[in-house]
A and B are shown apart, each in its own frame.
Chain A
Amino acid sequence: KQEVTQIPAALSVPEGENLVLNCSFTDSAIYNLQWFRQDPGKGLTSLLLIQSSQREQTSGRLNASLDKSSGRSTLYIAASQPGDSATYLCAVGGNRLAFGKGNQVVVIP
């Protein structure tokens, strides 16, 4: 069974600082890896999807890397803003996703 771990569970950073969120998974035979954002009381919004054959994906200030051999992915958010405050979830799999419990991020103005 795929296990997905996200550390730390919660973190606070001052505005402008770069955010680094980590995700680890136990089974390297993944189909793809996705990073989602969840705002309080809302559903999940897909941020980035990395296919198993890719090493990274970028969208604006967001960059996600994938290292299957070590079972790790990292989400970088450059120059964080208060609007980046949310919970970030990592998920691996194909049509059946295994989710981590999330990184709850607070960006302090």
Chain B
Amino acid sequence: NAGVTQTPKFRVLKTGQSMTLLCAQDMNHEYMYWYRQDPGMGLRLIHYSVGEGTTAKGEVPDGYNVSRLKKQNFLLGLESAAPSQTSVYFCASSYSDREIQPQHFGDGTRLSIL
């Protein structure tokens, strides 16, 4: 049972570099989410998607872009990484909110920007 899989698990970048975080789910969920978790701040929603081909901004979207070309995948991109983007990034997925179901989380990507 894979559930939600995030790659990579760890990454170190230099300021200004770009990268893409991949999230894949095998539960046929409509909704997918990207969060960041920082000490003392809790989890904050970056972007989310309510279906293939759709994306929407969350609480802290600046500096990030997302794409949902396939239902099972949700990509998070950093075009020009900044030290303030050092964080643990979590992807989650859920059924549509026509059915009230919990969000399922991946194990996270630990990203350090030097």
Residues of A within 8 A of B (CB): 4, 31-32, 34, 36, 41-46, 49, 51, 89, 91, 94-97, 99-102
Contacts and interface: CB of A to CB of B under 8 A. Distances in A.
Interface stretch (B13-21, B65-73, B78-86, B98-106): B98-106
A96 B105 CA distance: 14
B107 A32 contact: no
Interface residues of B, number: 25
Given A31-B97, A44-B90, A102-B42, A95 B50 contact: yes
B42 A99 contact: yes
Contacts of B41: 101
Contacts of A49: 100-102
Nearest to A32: B100
B94 interface: yes
A102 B39 CA distance: 11
